[in-house]
Structure 1
Amino acid sequence: MNANHIQSLEGYQSSRFLNRWLAAKSERLPSLIEQSALSMTKQDFAQILQNEIDSGAILNAAMRRTRNLVMASLIKRDLEGQAELHEVVTTVSEFADFVVQTHLQSLMEEMVTNHGDPIGEESGEKQELIVLGMGKLGGFELNVSSDIDLIFCYNEDGETKASGEQRQLSNHEFFSRLGKKLIAAISEITEDGFSFRVDMALRPNGASGPLVASFGMIEDYFLVQGREWERYAWVKARALTGKPSDINVLDKMIFPFVYRRYLDYGVIDSLRNMHHQIRAEVIRQETRHPDRGINVKLGRGGIREVEFLAQVFQLIRGGREAHLRDRSTRATLLCLAEKGILDGLLVDQLLQAYNFLRNVEHRLQYLDDAQTHIFPAKLDDQTIVARMMGYPSVEALNQVLVPYMQFVAEQFDAIFKEKSDNEEHQLDASTMSDQEAHENIVSHLQSLQFHDMKDVATRIATTWQSTKIQALSESTQQKMAGLINAALLTIAKQKEAQLETISRFLDFLEQIARRTAYLSLLTEFPHALERVVRMMAASDWAAKFLNRHPILLDELLDESVLHQVPDWIEFESELMQALQAHEGDIESQLDTLREYHHALLFRLLAQDLEGRVSVEHLADLLSKLADIMVEAVVQSVWKTIPNRHLERPQFAVIAYGKLGGKELSYASDLDVIFLYDDEDQEAPALYAKLAQRFITWMTTHTSSGILFDIDIALRPDGASGLMVSSLAAFERYQEKSAWLWEHQALTRARFCAGDHSIGEKFEQIRRQVLSQIREPQKLREEVIHMRKRMRDANVNRSKLFDLKHDEGGMIDIEFIVQYLILMHANKYPELTGNLGNIALLKRCGQLGLIDEKLANETANTYRVLRKYQHNIRLQGEEKARVAKEKLADVCMASLQLWSSLFSPEG
């Protein structure tokens, strides 16, 4: 806006409404000048109202006069550059709250005098009318000449507690009468005008529904009849009146109607259809009245499209992301930028456009205090609006207004435009179910130059003609057909495994067939669909993981986020905040843990499949993720223990095995033991309960899946031992009672989560035990004996090489490392460091404990075997086996090293 023009323009010379109001009484000008000197609050409204009442006006008249002064003051402040958009919309919204609350209090007293208090039949408590502000009132963004969208409701049915000459009414009748009186008090036009126009069309069942609804009626309506467009309306619902306890109950009913637990991309279609209807009506009106100017609210690129842009993300993500539940369009846009959902620069431009359009809208309304959003037909009036905006002419204003609206329209189209496929060759949903379906599909696959046409066609036809798919609606079938077409385009580029990929994709589609939000997501975001297909082509395990957790599809939308290195500090902070937000609701906390874990696991999986991380680095990342989840569970579970004597437990989780060695894979179990160091007499029982609940939280299957399987077999005395050991008892056991294989296991053990001081003491014990002097021959014999027992328990009868168990394989190499540590750590303390098998092998070579060249070659063997194992597991194979000829040369070093250490002649 041009500030120079504003400063030269007196506000009351531009608004016909304001001029008429001033001309009616000469004493209004001083009052206007006084009130417009500063912004107004509810205290100011109350004082102005009281002044009017003191002068002899009844409440209705006093309120209307207060309204006129408030609006006149806002017009003057706005047009003279003293107030910005935020002040204008906030002041009008707060005044609307004040009007509703003041009139309701007065009318309620009158109704109670005549009929008694309305009492809930179940609670026996006094009931109150809850007035919900919807739309811009709900979002504190009301226009200066807007109507107010209201909904009336109350908690419980029952009857009034009448006495004497009072006439008893049902609560429904009581509040219906009260609601009608409230509407009249606010909206009836008198010689002083009106306070606000009132629109009740958003209530359940609209104009045909009851004026007032009980909570029970609203809940039933949401469950049975609530439509998609009403979710959009109820996002902004805000209680202006009522008891906090009742409002809390109502909010809990509204939430599941408006928001979904999953990411609801199906809402894009609903809002798109709603927008089409609005635009069609605008076009009809423009056709009937071709002389009308631009509609800044409902026209293309108008205010409504900005609101839709903000609210579509609220409906998509608000069920999972609380920060997106703000009722304000402006606040929501800022949040979208802050969270990286929309580009920050784009949001800045949208807000500039939105503020400009809202200011234009206000100036259109300042002319005659009319609820309009359309430029007037008369050129003189258009010129006045332009001058109020600070521009010398309509042409000058349009040079700014039109580009803003074009920009909004472009951004709207980017999200809401219909997704169409322009390929010449398409499978049609209608032709995939008839008798010639197989031939039609084969023909289509030929056009795409598929290799396995007949097998792929059979697989598609079989899936499509299944009872599950045929039971879907026609629109859903068409969406699925479109997704299959798009997937085939990507799969056709593959040279191998076309049948496997389409089979995995069709299994996935069948899994999500009734979850239209997921189908919509893949339809609206083709790049996400392509990535899904590529992941399924690369990994059967990834395909099955996505089948189990389709909610993770959202992770595929943002390439930059998908490829980010994890910010562990931020991740842990967000996880703990989310858990604290659900404190007391264990089910929600279990789901939260799983959702956070699966989301980050899925990002790492995507990076892995694209070759962005090595097997070793991936294992480090997965181990770090597991550490964070274990810590979060320990701290959350402790808060559920009654009679706990400390804020934080003196308790630690010690990791063994793959987690201990930081070699975790996607589906690894967690081998752990539990230690405590607490002299309190109740400590053993408390920490045993903590450990039991820890295992339950980790292993329970919820709607979000499982977190980890837990193995505690490595605890002192194994299955017959206590679940939790004191630090002192653990030290005694390791020094006096532990078997050699337990000391072998200790080479890969480390503190994982809990009390760090216990972790430090554990590490001291561990290093001390590993550094004990051992008799060489006895140690060698025991290691050989233990290895033989393991090999006998895992006999490989296939012709393939077992990467773990066969001679020269991974376990042989791990035993070599453990033997070298137990043999030499007393002289070389650095060997007790938890460095991983590869680093420890190389270090032993550098120290001359084994041949250095052989050490390096064996380390490389271990790396190669891990990579083979990882790739095989990604294909969903349980046993990691490959053709022997592939590894004949690779394993020569590990076989030679084993022989040099353990053969009789070695």
Structure 2
Amino acid sequence: MSTTHPLADALPPSLRDAFGRQWARYLERLPQAANPPAGLPESLPRVWALSDFVADSCIQSPGLLDRLLTSGGLERRYAANEMRERVRDALAGATDEADFMAGIRRCRRLEMTRIAWRDLSGLADLDENLDDLSMLADALLEAALQFAEASLEPRFGRPGDGQRLIVFALGKLGGGELNFSSDVDLIFAYAGPGTTDGRQPIDHQDYFTRLARLLIRYFAEITADGQVWRVDMRLRPFGDDGPLVAHAASMEHYYAAHGREWERYAWIKARVVAGDHAAGARLLATLRPFVYRRYLDYGVFESLREMKAMINRESEKRSGGLDLKRSPGGIREVEFIGQAYQLIRAGRDTFLQHRSLREVLARLKQRGLLPAWAERELQLAYSFLRHAENRLQMQADQQTHRLPDEALARLRLAVAMGYRDWEAFRTALDGQMRRVHEHFERIFSTPQTGRTEGMDGLLRAWRDADGDALRERLAESGYDEPEAAATELAALAKSPTTRTLTETARQRLDQLIPLLAQAAAGQEAPAQTLTRALGVVQAMAGRSVYLSLLVESPLALSQLVRLCAASPWIAQQLAKMPLLLDELLDPRSLYAPPDREGLARELEVALAEVADDDVELLMDRLRQFKAAQVLKVAAADVTGTLPLMRVSDQLTWIAEAILDRVLAAARRQLSARHGPPWLAAEGREAGFGIVAYGKLGGIELGYGSDLDVVFLYESGSGEQLTRGAKPIDNPVYFARLAQRVIHLLTTLTSAGALYEIDMRLRPDGAAGLLVSSLDAFAVYQRGQAWVWEHQALVRARFIAGAPAVGERFAEVRGEILCRPRERGDLRREVREMRERMWQALGSRDAALFDLKKDPGGIADIEFLVQYNVLLHAPAHPVLIRYTDNIRLLAVLAEAGIMDSATTALLTDAYKAYRDRTHALTLQAQAAVVAVGEFADLRAGVKRIWAALLGKDEDGASSA
């Protein structure tokens, strides 16, 4: 019988010799006159040459190779649940503990040999390997738990309420990414106290502790057949000093009171792998707020840096050599990158809550948190390193991550990885690890590396609240008013807020202050900028995570300083809602607010995990969304990257997106109780809609504008009841719907109110019903509405709700606006209404000009437009197409109603006034300027007003 194999000739000489030795050993173990099994795979020489574990397994158990060949497992990937079925079948005949422990080890060896063979022969990819290893561990853990339960039952019975042990896997097994020769990180729990129901009842703590010890022994005890997996229990509460098993309530208390940052990191990958899956899922849901904070937790970077430094120190204590897991650029650094973003953001973005690292990296790219090129490099490097890790461990089934020193082991690893020799492999490996470490350093680099002696001196002065030293340091840094800035810094240092900070928060504040002072020094007015920024810092100082964000992200800090320098209003918004600091991390989106479609998509993402009946969370998320989007508009506005017309467009789109979502949520909430409102005579659901007036209707919202809205609904003949478990009249339903919409918009929460709502333009104003049927609205507009209400209708448009309501409203609006009017009566009504407005609201200071209310200002232009629309729409229906003043002025010119010079002046004045109003708002100032600032434009507007509306035929003049 030949002791060679023809396919071995393709191997390098040293590997061919290694295979020859193993093949000879195999042949010696065969029974006399027996031949190797028929149909040996062509991959056998390569696999045996690369893995002593596979060769030894086949040699020591000659029947193992037969089973591999006859089962078909070498040629194909297992189907779903096939691994669990094979494990169950392999252990079905175990009658006692010794038999079970031998059987579980033989089963493990068979499946591990199969997994290694398929990998080393190139038949399996990394996904399959990690899945199969994890599924094998899951199946063996469940089998071991069931056998342990059966062994305890005759004496102790079973726990009450059908409880079972909850077996959590963390680490690689928890993530479904187990490596070839890993240990398994486990934590044991149970649902709650009680006693077993056997002849010797014991309490649950005792029972589950016994069960856990048996499970560990079945897995970790070394017998003649080896061991299944090493079991690491050090991640459990209180580590080696804690109980082996804990009930759910005690675990909840532990993590709430004692949980540490590294435990949050560990629990990212937690998964129930055996036992009581339902109870485990409930416990995981309870612990989720511990793992994933609902705020942006940038303190994670510092914690993970410390953890990585500890890992590096431990690695250095071991024998020399490159470590695929722990060395710079190794597997652990890729894990830290993915999981750092999860710890920071996944509490607010549940899309990032995933156990698989490779899937997390992909989702980070989708969220724009990792550039596509960085994600691609990290994915390639991680795949390379995990392949190398597995193939290194497959050589002898040893838990090692260090590159070998012995020449044959090196060649085995190089060839297994597809390289001709060790040097080529090391070149490729070094390149992958270098790229990983570059990404790691970019993300985790210590932000204090650029400190100067001046900054250190300022820090000492700040800690001592030494005003003189602070003034001196600030003057050296170029501050225009060092005295004022020093006073602000000293006041913050001595403030009750600072004195009561935790040690961690104080350390982070100490890190931030010199960085902030240095960044503000580069602005045009450093002292003013620093004062505004310190207001933001003081508002968030109690939440050290926000301090960490600014310390860890120089980009966010620079944007904060830039915006505080440009606008006190923006500084105030950031102080009110520190969550907005997250928006400073990406200037690409900060200064490029999304369009209407983009806003809808972003709102959908923001509310993806929010149930309509979770009213508190819904209101918070809506307020956070609005604040973030308005900040983007203000940032783009104040830096000049967004033109005037787009500012109002953006602010209007934000309101429309929110109103649409609020209406949908309110309707679902109400219909869940009462069913949909129904028009029995027509056999369909009755529609409801929101009509916008004023600045919202005219697409001219400003910062802080309230919303003028009217609620309309469809009515009909016959029965009008909702179709639900608790039916109510449709009008009652719609009144409650409107009330719910107003509640969601105006309720003051910790995040403020969404919008103030003005309902005074509804039929009969404040005395009228909250909602009106379309028929009642039409009747009112035809016979009871004042001229000023028809003026308001010029700017009205349908913005949310049932399209049929919008169509009917447009018909009524068109009918009213195109009604013929007598010029003199209309002229007098419009002028008198404007005079009453000025008398009530205008400025009384001759040195000042109120841009909105004074003669020659915005209101005059609006009234001029409305007057011309009402007068000329019967002859020029195109005038009712638009609701914004700029386009209406353009149509008035095109129709020849006003000459182009007049409309150009009014357009220029209107834009200039609005632009100045936006700018003043961002400077936290009222819309009032010195009387001479727009003297020419104002005079022009007043001339046009006088020509069109200024005097009646009897000579009476307007204001």
TM-score (norm 2): 0.89
Question: Structure 1 residues 475 and 326 mapped into 2: Cα distance closer, same or farther (>3 Å)?
Answer: closer
- Distance in 1 (alpha carbons) for counterparts of 2:391 and 2:245: 35
Match of 2:65 in 1: 29
The answer as to 2:208 corresponding to 1:151 is: no
Match of 1:73 in 2: 114
Match of 1:591 in 2: 620
Question: Structure 1 residues 29 and 130 mapped into 2: Cα distance closer, same or farther (>3 Å)?
Answer: same
User: Helix, strand or coil: the match of 1:674?
Assistant: strand
8 Å CA contact 2:715, 2:775 repeated in 1? no
1:47-126 to structure 2, matched below 5 A, reads 47=86, 50-51=89-90, 53-54=92-93, 58-119=99-160, 125-126=161-162
The answer as to 2:76 corresponding to 1:38 is: yes
- Distance in 1 (alpha carbons) for counterparts of 2:358 and 2:900: 66
8 Å CA contact 1:117, 1:161 repeated in 2? yes
Bigger mean CA deviation after superposition, 426-435 or 228-237: 426-435
1:749-760 to structure 2, matched below 5 A, reads 749-760=796-807
- Distance in 2 (alpha carbons) for counterparts of 1:43 and 1:718: 71
Q: Could you give the per-residue CA deviations for residues 417-446 of structure 1, whole angstroms, max 9, x where no partner exists?
A: 1112333421443322437x1111111122
Q: Could you give the per-residue CA deviations for residues 44-83 of structure 1, whole angstroms, max 9, x where no partner exists?
A: 4533653465498822211110100111111111111111
User: Helix, strand or coil: the match of 1:889?
Assistant: helix
1:680-695 to structure 2, matched below 5 A, reads 680-681=720-721, 682-695=729-742
Bigger mean CA deviation after superposition, 483-492 or 697-706: 483-492
Name the Cα RMSD after superposition. Answer: 2.1
Aligned-pair distance for 1:602? 1.9
Q: Could you give the per-residue CA deviations for residues 2-60 of structure 1, whole angstroms, max 9, x where no partner exists?
A: xx979975212222222222221322222233432223354345336534654988222
Whichever residue aligns with residue 588 of structure 2, its letter is: S
Aligned-pair distance for 1:338? 2.1
Bigger mean CA deviation after superposition, 326-335 or 484-493: 484-493
Which of 352, 357, 360 is equivalent to 1:324? 352
The answer as to 2:619 corresponding to 1:581 is: no
The answer as to 2:321 corresponding to 1:267 is: no
User: Helix, strand or coil: the match of 1:158?
Assistant: coil
Question: Structure 1 residues 425 and 386 mapped into 2: Cα distance closer, same or farther (>3 Å)?
Answer: same
The answer as to 2:257 corresponding to 1:224 is: yes
8 Å CA contact 1:579, 1:636 repeated in 2? no
Match of 1:168 in 2: 201
Match of 2:426 in 1: 398
Whichever residue aligns with residue 691 of structure 1, its letter is: A
Match of 1:122 in 2: none
User: Helix, strand or coil: the match of 1:371?
Assistant: coil
8 Å CA contact 2:520, 2:527 repeated in 1? no
Bigger mean CA deviation after superposition, 383-392 or 333-342: 383-392
- Distance in 1 (alpha carbons) for counterparts of 2:321 and 2:417: 16
1:461-860 to structure 2, matched below 5 A, reads 461-473=490-502, 476-496=505-525, 498-564=526-592, 566-576=594-604, 579=607, 581-583=609-611, 584-641=613-670, 642-645=673-676, 650-679=687-716, 680-681=720-721, 682-798=729-845, 799-860=847-908
- Distance in 1 (alpha carbons) for counterparts of 2:94 and 2:617: 58
Aligned-pair distance for 1:391? 2.5
Match of 2:486 in 1: 457
User: Helix, strand or coil: the match of 1:100?
Assistant: helix
Higher relative contact order (CA 8 A, sep 6+): 1
Whichever residue aligns with residue 643 of structure 1, its letter is: H
User: Helix, strand or coil: the match of 2:162?
Assistant: coil
Whichever residue aligns with residue 437 of structure 2, its letter is: A
- Distance in 2 (alpha carbons) for counterparts of 1:580 and 1:337: 19
8 Å CA contact 2:83, 2:135 repeated in 1? no
- Distance in 1 (alpha carbons) for counterparts of 2:302 and 2:930: 51
Aligned-pair distance for 1:603? 1.8
Match of 2:281 in 1: 248
- Distance in 2 (alpha carbons) for counterparts of 1:891 and 1:415: 54
- Distance in 1 (alpha carbons) for counterparts of 2:348 and 2:523: 36
User: Helix, strand or coil: the match of 1:886?
Assistant: coil
Which of 343, 368, 371 is equivalent to 1:343? 371
- Distance in 2 (alpha carbons) for counterparts of 1:324 and 1:886: 52
User: Helix, strand or coil: the match of 2:56?
Assistant: helix
8 Å CA contact 2:498, 2:506 repeated in 1? yes
1:870-881 to structure 2, matched below 5 A, reads 870-877=918-925, 879-881=926-928
Aligned-pair distance for 1:555? 1.5
Aligned-pair distance for 1:474? 5.3
User: Helix, strand or coil: the match of 1:160?
Assistant: coil
Whichever residue aligns with residue 97 of structure 1, its letter is: D
Question: Structure 1 residues 431 and 876 mapped into 2: Cα distance closer, same or farther (>3 Å)?
Answer: same
1:122-141 to structure 2, matched below 5 A, reads 125-141=161-177
- Distance in 1 (alpha carbons) for counterparts of 2:701 and 2:864: 20
8 Å CA contact 1:266, 1:521 repeated in 2? yes
- Distance in 2 (alpha carbons) for counterparts of 1:482 and 1:54: 65
In structure 1, list runs of 5 or more residues that go unmatched: 120-124
8 Å CA contact 2:87, 2:139 repeated in 1? no
The answer as to 2:467 corresponding to 1:430 is: no
Question: Structure 1 residues 48 and 784 mapped into 2: Cα distance closer, same or farther (>3 Å)?
Answer: closer
- Distance in 2 (alpha carbons) for counterparts of 1:815 and 1:780: 10
Question: Structure 1 residues 180 and 22 mapped into 2: Cα distance closer, same or farther (>3 Å)?
Answer: same
Question: Structure 1 residues 242 and 643 mapped into 2: Cα distance closer, same or farther (>3 Å)?
Answer: farther
Which of 285, 289, 310 is equivalent to 1:277? 310
Whichever residue aligns with residue 780 of structure 1, its letter is: R
User: Helix, strand or coil: the match of 1:117?
Assistant: coil
Which of 238, 241, 262 is equivalent to 1:205? 238
Question: Structure 1 residues 870 and 731 mapped into 2: Cα distance closer, same or farther (>3 Å)?
Answer: same
- Distance in 2 (alpha carbons) for counterparts of 1:228 and 1:105: 34
Question: Structure 1 residues 54 and 253 mapped into 2: Cα distance closer, same or farther (>3 Å)?
Answer: closer
Q: Could you give the per-residue CA deviations for residues 340-369 of structure 1, whole angstroms, max 9, x where no partner exists?
A: 210112111111111111111112211221
Aligned-pair distance for 1:595? 2.3
Question: Structure 1 residues 99 and 794 mapped into 2: Cα distance closer, same or farther (>3 Å)?
Answer: same
User: Helix, strand or coil: the match of 2:936?
Assistant: coil
Which of 322, 328, 333 is equivalent to 1:294? 322
TM-score (norm 1): 0.94
- Distance in 2 (alpha carbons) for counterparts of 1:108 and 1:587: 45
The answer as to 2:272 corresponding to 1:239 is: yes
Whichever residue aligns with residue 662 of structure 2, its letter is: V
- Distance in 2 (alpha carbons) for counterparts of 1:109 and 1:775: 96
Whichever residue aligns with residue 39 of structure 1, its letter is: R
Percent sequence identity is 38
8 Å CA contact 2:185, 2:232 repeated in 1? yes
User: Helix, strand or coil: the match of 2:310?
Assistant: helix
- Distance in 1 (alpha carbons) for counterparts of 2:596 and 2:843: 41
8 Å CA contact 2:74, 2:118 repeated in 1? yes
User: Helix, strand or coil: the match of 1:151?
Assistant: strand
- Distance in 2 (alpha carbons) for counterparts of 1:835 and 1:717: 23
8 Å CA contact 1:45, 1:66 repeated in 2? no
8 Å CA contact 1:5, 1:391 repeated in 2? no
